[in-house]
Structures are given as structure tokens and as C-alpha cells.
Amino acid sequence: MPELPEVETVVRQLAETIPGCQILDVEVIHADLLSEPPDSFRKGLRHSSIEAVSRRGKNILISLSGSQLLVVNLGMTGQLLFTPPGSGEEPADTAAEPSHPAIVFGLRPVASLVYADVRRFGSLRRFTLEDWRAESDRLGPEPLDPQLSPSALQERLGRSRSPIRSWLLDQTRIAGIGNIYASEALFRAGIHPKKPARSLHRQDSERLLKAVREVLSEAIRARGTTLRDYRTASGDRGTFGPALQAYGREGEPCLKCNTPIERIVFGNRSAYLCPRCQEIS
């Protein structure tokens, strides 16, 4: 968390607001989020113009003048919040203000972009376009890419003995899915989280890809899922939480068959399933 729908929500909001802005200054409060010295990071970004905002997997890509890219990964608890140009007065809604600011970008016209992160598992890295292409090539395909067909997915699954839930969480196999939407997609597809990836048949792959795309698309429309820390770029909460059918519903009745939802732990992560609708055999 945040996963593809949360990151996509932030990207869509920022893409409407910050292209055309210039970075006037960068305040580094917590340097451990950077992969280079703070002075180098600040110098490399100052006076750059923001050209576009996009997404790759769980990464926010901010394209800058000078053919460089600022790549922001929100980690577990990161937030990227935009304060639009205004009078300079304190905003009325203080709930949107970050409580753990880590990196602050001063923009022209008068505005700010704040990266906040209570646990500081996220990262901000500068790339050249060439270096980012190499980094991006290490990631798996985008699950919403129309070019990812059920047969292509099945071919990828057939190379792995990993449990399907673990396979979905591996960003080198498919990019953007985390534990929430893996649990939701597997529940919708009727597939047990521990089922070996290579044991899925063609129909399983079709159902899984359809379920993945449906749940991700629905979550994007709801601006993501806020369980605790996630906020949109404007500081709002995601509203998909009440639509979750498996994740976090341990002991509650399955919405399909009324069997209590179970939580199992493997790979150091919890998985939620209906033992009746998602039999492992």
C-alpha cells in the first residue's frame, strides 16, 4: 500500500495541476529517502520545469526539463500532496496538511509539492531517461495494458512454482499489484492464494486477468483505498474500502456463499480468502 489505483489517482490529479510549474527550491528534511546527497538532489532539480506526470507500476514519474525524471515511490505510508497557488494563507482544511513532511518542493507559481512519509519506506530518485528505461524494463507488464492477453499471462504463470498470490506481488512479473488487490482479484476469480502459478489453466488465467482489471478499474474510479495513511494529491481519502469483498474481512461472511472469510499468513504477508469459494484443489 499504496498500490496501482492509489498511485494512478495521485498521478491523474498531479497531471492536471503541476505540468508547467518550475521547481524553485527543494527542502530536504529526511535525506534517507534519497539515493544521492541532499545538495546534489537539490541542485539537480532546482530551476527545472515540470513537463508531465505519469505512472509505471507503483511509481510516480515526474518528467522534467533537461531530459531527467524524478521517480517517486510511496512505499508503505508515503503521500505526495499538492498545495495550489493561493493567497499564502493557511488552508482551512488542516486535515489535508501532512504531519510528517520529508521533502518539500517550492514551485512557481506560488505552490508547493510535499512528500510526507511517517515510516519513510518510500524513495525519491533522479534518473536520466536512458537509465529509467533500463529500470522500467525490469518491471513486469502493466495489468491494465490491453496487450497483456490471457494467453500471455498464462505463459508467464507457467514459468513459476510460486503461489499465485506471491506471483502477483512480484513487481518483476506484473507491475502495480499489492496485497489488497491481489486478495480481491483472487477472491473474484475463485482462485486460492496458495495455488501454484504454473498450475493455473487457461480458464483460470482468463478469470484472473478479468478480475484483476475489474477490481483495479473500480478502485481507480473510487480514488483508491484508504485504510490508514493513503491520501490523494489533494489530501482526500480513497473511498474503495467499503467495496472490499475479501481483504480485511476475516470472520465476516463471504458475500457469495456466507462462509466466514479466513486470513492465512505465508510469505510474511496475510491473505484473505473464502475457503469454500476458493478451494485449493
The residues annotated as belonging to the active site are 2-3, 58, 269
**What gap in Å lies between CA 225 and CA 74, rounded to an integer?**
14
Q: Are 256 and 169 in contact (CB under 8 A)?
A: no
Show the CA angle centred on residue 222, arms to residues 218 and 224, nearest 5°.
95
Omega before 275 within 30 of 0, i.e. cis: no
Cell of 42: 537539490
Beta strands in the chain (DSSP E): 22-28, 50-56, 59-64, 68-73, 78-83, 101-108, 111-117, 123-128, 262-266, 269-273
**What gap in Å lies between CA 139 and CA 148, rounded to an integer?**
14
Q: Are 177 and 3 in contact (CB under 8 A)?
A: yes
**What gap in Å lies between CA 51 and CA 19, rounded to an integer?**
5
**What gap in Å lies between CA 223 and CA 211, rounded to an integer?**
18
